[in-house]
Structure 1
Amino acid sequence: MTQLIQSLSDISDRYDALFVDLWGCVHDGVQAIPSAVAALQAYRAKGGAVVLVTNSPQPRGNVEKQLQKFGVAEDAWDTIATSGDAARAAMFTGAVGQKVWFIGQPHDQGFFEPLKVVKDPLEIEQVPLDEADGIVCCGPEDPHADPSVLRTQFLLAKQRGLKLLCANPDIVVDRGDVREWCAGALARLYTEMGGTSLYFGKPHPPIYDLARRRLTAMGRDVGGEGILAIGDGIHTDVAGAMGEDIDSLFITGGLAAEETRTTDQPDPAALDAYLAREGRDPSFTIGFLR
């Protein structure tokens, strides 16, 4: 059964590194969450390493710029692992072919920027669906439209046997007070229709492999028992941590705020009911990262 804690400092001395989700934990899609930033700064001041592990489809350089815009202090983290970078590596090594049908918004074009770590990368060409070898999905063109608007195109893609590379497994995010659909919702629909979707972000192994490589590049050799995963996604952050056999801290004040009746802290009865229903067992739980 999960242990309800009051602050990160209650347990942080047990861990050498944190794998920290961004959206819903460190920022709300509009601005930084001050208590979360302060908690991470305090942790790093004691020698801990913070890897921001995000299902953003963006390259990590773009995520850094976004953090600056939101007011997340640079001394609150050490390095970043993005779903986008893990998925880009797969794309440039031919996971869905050379000619791809792209689903996303104009600001997602950074996904196609060259990736230096891939030797002899495939030259990717964006083409219409009827010319494509595969699909690259960074998210819906309209994040407020129901994913089913793509059902007709997905039927054609499935019939042609195209694989869909999902750059962000999240189903939804909350931008401030507004809920938006993510690439994971489109990939889920495609899979439900009989298509094949490939995932590289949480809760799937590639992004954790990338996060560990980023730790190693910092000169940190940390085993699984020394890592704590933090996030508000029960099906991404918590499920991923359980799959990697690392401890997790579930933030209930994000995506699950309503279900767990979180104000400052979750309602214990509502929390227990929610975890039982979802079949997940985070090591620790708190209302907000602080």
Structure 2
Amino acid sequence: MTLPDVTALRFADRLRDLTTGVDVILSDVWGVIHDGVHGFPEACKALQSFRAQGGTVIMITNAPRPADSVQRQLRKMEISDETYDAIVSSGDLTRSFVASRLEQPLLQIGPERDNPMFRGLDVKFTTLENAEYIVCTGPYDDEVETEENYRGMMEEALKRNLTFVCANPDMVVERGHRLITCAGAIAELYRSLGGEVIFYGKPHRPIYDRALELAAEKRGGTTPANRILAIGDSVRTDLTGANLMGLDCLFLTRGIHAVDFEGLDVADEFSVRRLFGDAKPPLALMQDLKW
């Protein structure tokens, strides 16, 4: 077994210390520039400063809503459009999947706030008994529900051999100071029962391919992988996705893994293996994104 290279892992104080030779940043949204309730002004200023120096910032989010809905949410948290060049969401990719099979009735699992993903589509919504597949954007009530609330439903879906389309591969997200269950947790439950799951969003390649297409449009050409930096706070989605794409990753420790990083100030081999397993560690660790 190959051990993680701890010699390459360091703690960074400022984003500018890592961006020499970087042209494009692919940044997570939730946990990097906001916590679901409040925006992070310093993080936004950091990305704005990178853009002011000629860099391109594409936000990549597992939000199960179209990019324009994500943008409206960011504006409500007073996050300026100048923070990024474009947004790519898992909701956009899921919407394309649904649009390609409008003749098939589907069961939607998720809160009403995610309904914009279906806006303008002639979708045939139905019950579990009549559905030909499932689209999940999260629990119906993520304030109180977890994946276990859906075990019975998933067992019934498995009997009908339904495909489960996950519009948000995140297991949990931070909302204020609480962790909230996401669609990824229900998807993993269904998969553990033996069900077929299609994931849209990080760490899967399609969302990165779309982000890189947008970056190429903004810059007038493709950017080599060694000139792209990914930023995120999730091992399962952000770090894994960056590694699959061959990109360096700046990992923020303040997010959903905050408890795991408490008191850690030396990147020794034991700590790196505990936090990242056998995965390639990130390029650097930073608590909060700052320029």
Residues 97 and 133 in structure 1, CA contact (< 8 A), matched pair in contact too:
no
Partner residue, 2:76: 69
CA 1:266–1:62 in 2, change beyond 3 Å: closer, same or farther? Answer: farther
How many angstroms does 1:156 deviate by?
A: 1.3
CA 1:91–1:61 in 2, change beyond 3 Å: closer, same or farther? Answer: same
Provide the C-alpha distance between the structure 2 equivalents of 1:258 and 1:164, rounded to a whole number of angstroms: 31
What does the per-residue CA deviation read over 1:181-235, in whole Å, with 9 as the maximum and x for residues that have no partner?
0000010000011111101100001100111122123244212122110000111
CA 1:162–1:43 in 2, change beyond 3 Å: closer, same or farther? Answer: same
Partner residue, 2:185: 185
Any gaps of 5 or more consecutive residues in structure 1? 116-122
SS at match of 2:260: coil
Any gaps of 5 or more consecutive residues in structure 2? 1-5
Partner residue, 1:78: 85
Partner residue, 2:62: 55
User: Identity of aligned pairs, percent?
Assistant: 35
Provide the C-alpha distance between the structure 2 equivalents of 1:203 and 1:31, rounded to a whole number of angstroms: 25
- Structure scoring higher RCO (CA < 8 A, sep ≥ 6) equals 2
TM-score (norm 2): 0.91
Provide the C-alpha distance between the structure 2 equivalents of 1:108 and 1:138, rounded to a whole number of angstroms: 7
TM-score (norm 1): 0.91
Provide the C-alpha distance between the structure 1 equivalents of 2:57 and 2:255, rounded to a whole number of angstroms: 20
Residues 103 and 124 in structure 2, CA contact (< 8 A), matched pair in contact too:
no
Matches within 5 A, 1:255-266: 255-261=256-262
Provide the C-alpha distance between the structure 1 equivalents of 2:26 and 2:58, rounded to a whole number of angstroms: 5
How many angstroms does 1:72 deviate by?
A: 1.0
Provide the C-alpha distance between the structure 2 equivalents of 1:201 and 1:266, rounded to a whole number of angstroms: 31
Provide the C-alpha distance between the structure 1 equivalents of 2:51 and 2:37, rounded to a whole number of angstroms: 24
Residues 171 and 181 in structure 1, CA contact (< 8 A), matched pair in contact too:
yes
Provide the C-alpha distance between the structure 1 equivalents of 2:133 and 2:205, rounded to a whole number of angstroms: 22
How many angstroms does 1:3 deviate by?
A: 2.3
SS at match of 1:135: strand
Partner residue, 1:133: 132
Partner residue, 1:254: 255
Root mean square deviation of aligned Cα = 1.8
CA 1:278–1:97 in 2, change beyond 3 Å: closer, same or farther? Answer: farther
Matched, 1:102 2:108: yes
Residues 261 and 267 in structure 1, CA contact (< 8 A), matched pair in contact too:
no
Partner residue, 2:24: 17
- Paired amino acid for 1:45: A
Matches within 5 A, 1:168-247: 168-221=168-221, 222-247=223-248
Provide the C-alpha distance between the structure 2 equivalents of 1:142 and 1:278, rounded to a whole number of angstroms: 35
How many angstroms does 1:12 deviate by?
A: 1.1
Residues 172 and 179 in structure 1, CA contact (< 8 A), matched pair in contact too:
yes
Provide the C-alpha distance between the structure 2 equivalents of 1:127 and 1:267, rounded to a whole number of angstroms: 53
